[in-house]
Amino acid sequence: MKKYTGYLLVGLMSSMTTLGGFYFMNESGNNPFITDANNSKNGDFQLVDYKGNYGYDAPNFVEASKKAVHTVVSIKNYSNQKQQQQQQFDPFDFFFGQPEQQQRRGQQQQQQPDQPSGMGSGVIISQDGYIVTNNHVIAGASKIEVTLNNQKSYIAELVGTDPSTDIALLKISEKGLPFTKFVDSDAINVGDWVLAVGNPFGLTSTVTAGIVSAKGRSINILGKNSESPIESFIQTDAAINPGNSGGALVNANGDLIGINTAISSPTGAYSGYGFAVPTNLVKKVVEDIKSYGIVQRGYLGIKGFDLSNDQAVAQYNKEFKKNIKTQNGVMVTELVSKGSAIDSGIENGDIITEVDGKEVTSFSSLSFLVGSKRPGDKVNIKVRRGAADKTYTITLKDAKGGTKIRSKADLSPTEILGAEFEPLTERQKDSFGINYGVMVKNLDNSGKLAAAGVQDEFIILSVNDKEVSSQDAIEKILKNYKGRVSIKFADYYGRIYTKGFTMD
């Protein structure tokens, strides 16, 4: 009885406190609920006008929601069983569910071959059926199904992907679709209202509201899927959950400012913050994929570290006996051979502070500013050297050292495969008991080999049933080849696999 009495006392105290608060607010004229004996019957409580006592218009997201939900689609990723079994660990599991739960769910789906292996969202960006989503939403898919807000479904064509930004472009055969407009993501401010629109947990057309919590945020998630990730996320506290990936982050007018990509969560569900790829980067990626089939990206050709990172600065000072202070900017520690910067006048030890007049606050901001350019573009790089500031004009190159725009048709077979290949040493041949094969090096996670389950230092034994012993041999077999490719390869332990993919 004492236990229940305790709960009752707490309840009474809480009620008295609440009533006292209402009384105080009435006395001070700030009560959001007013009693007017002259204008109400029996002194009933009346709600004040929406903007009455607050002095401003409360946000109204009704029109923005109506506009946005019709442009956001549900996406189902169908993968065959062999692909699922060979699928490597996905770092996004840390952001969208516990890995063990994902694995159990994947095993259950393997037992039901007509069930999707993954679900997410996408955004219609043109009336003729182009749709933006996340690369990780459609990764490994043998079939991609898109369902509109009106429940009409389509099988989508994968136009292209960019693991460096986690963006993918799809196309469905339809006309006259509602679509969202891109707006300048640089123009948004921390504190601006935003809506997240998507299909969390399979719940279609879900809208949540929040604000922009930060800009230019790096969370080190894309490095597992790309050697040159570009992370400059919009951070928001609008609730984002599994299934929201690839959905829209829109402003209060319902216009697109970002593509929802990840959440930071210890449980795999929303617990405070979500992250979206800003539209200025999305727009550039989409335009490149549509025009060239691949993303055109300029590289500065430096290695360095983030001077806003306390630990990195402390490590550098300890190793080189320096006394650099934590600050904005990127310290250049190495100039890459055949890179854009090596012949420009930039030196090791320079601190990059601006690109085309825009401040470099971190390595992620530098990657964003340069990665938004194409090979052949000229950029003005401002550096601090000692007490002096210097500016250099640099012509950007691609990852291979070229300055020309290249289309998908210009890629070599090994670039499409996404790796370099070294002949085996005699010791390696003896170790594996073979006299042919090539070692995989510098694997690109966006290439065909990575999608087939090949990893760095695996050994490619044959391509289309032809034994290979050099990179030139692979180039010769696949030059101008279209259609199904069969590869035989061995892993670190000598286990042999045969996989296939399509060269188109």
**Residue 70 appears among annotated catalytic residues:** no
Catalytic one of 185, 245, 365, 367: 245
Is residue 208 within 8 A of residue 238, CB to CB? The reply is: yes
Question: How far apart (Å, rounded) are the C-alpha atoms in residues 252 and 212?
Answer: 12
Q: Give the residue carrying structure tokens 């900017």.
A: 329
Other beta carbons within 10 angstroms of residue 364's beta carbon come to: 22
Q: Which two tokens stand for residue 315?
A: 């490590």
**Residue 184 appears among annotated catalytic residues:** no
**Residue 136 appears among annotated catalytic residues:** yes
DSSP label of 96: S
Catalytic one of 74, 121, 136, 164: 136
Task: Identify the H or E element spanning 399.
Answer: none
Catalytic one of 90, 162, 166, 237: 166
Is residue 449 within 8 A of residue 479, CB to CB? The reply is: no
Is residue 192 within 8 A of residue 212, CB to CB? The reply is: yes
Question: How far apart (Å, rounded) are the C-alpha atoms in residues 148 and 155?
Answer: 11
Other beta carbons within 10 angstroms of residue 36's beta carbon come to: 10
Provide DSSP, 435-500.
S--EEEES--TTSHHHHTT--TT-EEEEETTEE--SHHHHHHHHTT--EEEEEEEE-TT--EEEEE
Active site residues: 136, 166, 245
